[in-house]
Structure 1
Amino acid sequence: MDDLSSEAIRSLLTSLFPSQMVEDLAREREIVIRDRKIDVRMLVWTLVVGFAVGGEARSIAGYRRAYEAATDHSVYPSSFYDRFTEELATLLRDLLDHAVEEVAVPHTLTPAFEQFRDVIADDATIVRLCRFLSEFKATHENKSGLTLYLVHNVTEQSVISDGITDETTHESTLFETGSWLSGRLFLLDRGFFKFRRFALIDENDGFFVSRLKASSNPVVTEELQEWPGRAIPLEGVRIYDVVGDLYREHIDVEVSFQRRVYNGVKSWDTKQLRVVGVRDEDADDGYRLYITNLPHDEFDPDEISTLYRARWVVELLFRELKSRYSLDEFETEKAHIVKIQVVAALLTLVVSRAILREFMDSAEEQDEECVFPTERWAATFRSLAQLILQEIAAGYGYPPPNLGEILYQEARQPSPSRLTLLEEVNAGLCGGSPA
């Protein structure tokens, strides 16, 4: 991997967010002020890379120290804090919208995916906030929490859409229908289970696989797989009424449901879908059951179960955000600062994936069999985040940091009149007053 030098990675990242684009957006959002004491390009990168560092660096004071260490330029704390505004949150949102269209990691998925335009996994996670913020109401009184919703492109391993709401907003309401569904396969968990949603995906020429909810209990209209001997007939019964009595390896049936009245339209519509089951002694009723509109003659139950496993990539994405980047550690009383940091977290993923793509492309070109486990990659990226930030600063012409000066400025007592603990003890022993 000698061709992926520090300069190459620096060039890759600065081209992801070109200087002129960042400055134009900052000017449009009225973030750039006349004195230009803070380089808005480095402010953006400090938030993105600084979020990966986590811990104390997640505070505004920590971001300021990271900025100063990378640029070798001291900034008044108040001047730096004043940049954390609603406008900065909007700027980061603009950059995220740009970045998700630019970054995709090559996939090594089953050829069964090739017939779909994309394979999409939708999911959401709850982020608990340490302080009460009225904008992010939780399901418990006097608590705060936000819902982070992600639409993840499994095929290209990239986040293509996201949403940030309070905890009380149900994740399923964030799923958008329309022509964009065409040709895509959606892997949905039970939180998105709704027959009307399935029908809209089907009517927009999309495909879906979802776990079947026991409360739905649809009626079987036809068996799609014959079983010899004295197999229990399923036609005309509700699937959950008999599934506990079955011992066959697979279930493959057609079911029907009726869509209810919506928006005052009184015409009822019957829709035919497919339910498949794969024998699993550890599962409820002995089967893993799925509902789908994938054709019977192209996908058998085992293949559908295997396809659905790809939905876990979005679960792993949330786990990466929480376990590796400590997504749910926010010590702030400002709702817009929470938004800034959540979007910074998503930008961190985008930037991390951009570098990963380069390594994977390079390995492929050199015919090297390299595997980069996601969480191992995230841990490595986090541990080297400050070095990455310094490389970016070097690309913008900043000199190497003066480590001694930074340590002196940050570690010294800000108020000369304030005594240390030992000075207070000495003053007390000598009969003085510990001012």
Structure 2
Amino acid sequence: MASRTVAEHPELTGKLEGFRDLWAYDSSSVSLRREVARVFAVGTNSDRAGAKLHAGMSLRTNAVIRPKITARRVSDERGIDLGRDVEDVLVLLDRGYSRHGLFASIEADGGFYLTRLKQSTNPKVARVHRGGATPEHARPRTLDEALDDGVIPLDGPVDLDVELSLGKARGLSARVVALPVLQDDGTEVFWWYLTNLPREAYPAEILRDFYRLRWQVELLWKQLKSRFRLDDIEAYTEHNVRLIMESAILAHFLSLGVMEATTTPAERKKLTVGRMALLFPFAVPKLVELLLAEDEEEALALARRIRGAVLHGATDTNPKRTRQATLKRAQRTKAAKTP
């Protein structure tokens, strides 16, 4: 698995080969004109209108995965549509998608999931692998009971086998991990994760690094809204709303396609889709000319022009803006402030 996204996280080198892809899934809302409130309602008793785009982002290709457009009132749990092609895919979800049936379906189709544990989720603890439990505390407990009784002292990483309820059906076996995180003010908090990733291949500490990749889907929404005008919809009909939103997704997809077709994997690590969007007015007519060119030399000249424009115009003007560089700058700033 190779992409700029993964390249910016050298700590994950060699740890992602077991996945066919990683999907960061989320939703984003846009405001609409009141004329379409009947279809795209914000709430039950509201005359305001808004649409919600539910989609994943492939961290291998940076493409939009399984987009679905609904009214803003539709919850994330109801809006998600992963399809059945999730075998060997790790799906990164936020806590808005904490539906046990969703986790079960991902696992049944051969996929993996990783999410932050929702505060209201209280699974039964089946076995403690890390966390200090002793044999005399072996009777079945929920996670909340185990924490309240001191069976699982929070003095380091916790790694548990748990069982999630699935209505009247048999429970779903899963894994819960808690990792201590030092806050800026010096206090320590625990971040809790829920997953079905096997413990033998993926130790507790790596889950936090995996989950951090989910932030890329937030950057996707920012790109779609700022570069592809997803947040600029002046439409009076449902058809036109969907057309404009789907056009933004298509433009993003075509931008990725042009980059893929005209550059090498090494070159693409230095390019951004956001800057590629600025080239779109130039690239589209040139691509049409290329498709219609009858002379081979003319076609080659056009292809070289397109490639040159992509390499020049889509290059990241701030290549040091990576997570690793940001962390180093923060550490230097903190060290400078320390007396």
Fold agreement, TM-score > 0.5: yes
Map of 1:211 onto structure 2 = 116
**Whole-angstrom CA distance in 2 between matches of 1:328 and 1:371:** 27
Residues 220, 234 of structure 1: 8 Å contact kept: no
Equivalent position to 2:170, from 269, 276, 281: 269
User: Which structure: greater helix fraction?
Assistant: 1
Residues 63-86 of structure 1, C-alpha deviation per residue, up to 9 Å, x if partnerless? xxxxxxxxxxxxxxxxxxxxxxxx
Q: What is the TM-score when the length of structure 1 is the normalising length?
A: 0.57
- SS of residue in 2 equivalent to 1:277: strand
- Gaps spanning 5+ residues in structure 1: where? 1-103, 262-267, 398-435
Q: Match for 1:187 among 92, 97, 106? A: 92
2:279 pairs with 384, 387, 390, which one?
384
Q: In structure 1, the residue corresponding to 2:165 is in which secondary structure?
A: strand
RMSD over aligned CA atoms reads: 3.3
Correspondent of 1:325 among 221, 228, 232: 228
Alignment partners' CA distance in 2, 1:179 and 1:209: 17
User: Which residue type is aligned with residue 279 of structure 2?
Assistant: L
Structure 2 residue ranges without an equivalent (≥5): 294-339
Find the counterpart in structure 2 of residue 255 from structure 1: 162
CA contact (8 A) 2:175 2:194 kept: yes
Measured after TM superposition, the shift of residue 235 of structure 1 is 7.1
Q: 1:181 to 1:390 in 2, by over 3 A?
A: closer
Aligned-partner SS, 2:16: helix
Structure 1's 203 and 325: CA in aligned 2 closer, same or farther, altered over 3 A?
closer
CA contact (8 A) 1:221 1:235 kept: no
Task: Name whichever structure is richer in strand by fraction.
Answer: 2
Q: Which amino acid aligns with 1:308?
A: Y
1:227 shift after superposition: 4.3
The corresponding residue for 1:357 is 260
1:225 paired residue number: 130
SS at match of 1:288: strand
1:89-128 superposed matches below 5 A: 108=7, 110-128=13-31
Distance 1:293 1:240 in 2: 20
Between Structure 1 and Structure 2, how many residues are aligned? 279
Instruction: Report 1:32-431 matches (<5 A).
Output: 108=7, 110-133=13-36, 134-139=38-43, 141-176=46-81, 179-225=84-130, 227=132, 236-240=140-144, 246-261=153-168, 268-282=169-183, 286-358=189-261, 360-361=263-264, 364=266, 371-372=270-271, 374=272, 377-378=273-274, 380-392=275-287, 394-395=289-290, 396=292
- The separation in 2 between residues aligned to 1:309 and 1:324, in whole angstroms, is 24
Are the counterparts in 1 of residues 131 and 154 from structure 2 also a CA contact under 8 Å? no
- In structure 2, C-alpha distance between the alignment counterparts of 1:179 and 1:394, rounded to whole Å: 38
**Which protein, 1 or 2, shows the higher relative CO under an 8 Å CA cutoff with sep ≥ 6?**
1
Shift of 1:105: 6.2
- The TM-score, its normalising length taken from structure 2, stands at 0.71
Secondary structure of the 1:353 match is helix
Report if the CA contact (8 A) 2:70-2:79 is conserved.
no
In structure 2, give the amino acid aligned to 1:154: L
Is the contact between residue 178 and residue 204 of structure 1 (CA under 8 Å) also seen in structure 2? Answer: no
| CA distance in structure 2 between the aligned counterparts of 1:237 and 1:202, rounded to whole angstroms | 25
Distance verdict in 2 for CA 1:343–1:179, change over 3 Å: closer
Shift of the 280–359 alpha-carbon distance from structure 1 to 2, 3 Å rule, reads farther
Aligned-pair identity in percent equals 26
The one-letter amino acid paired with 1:342 is M
Aligned residue type for 1:225: R
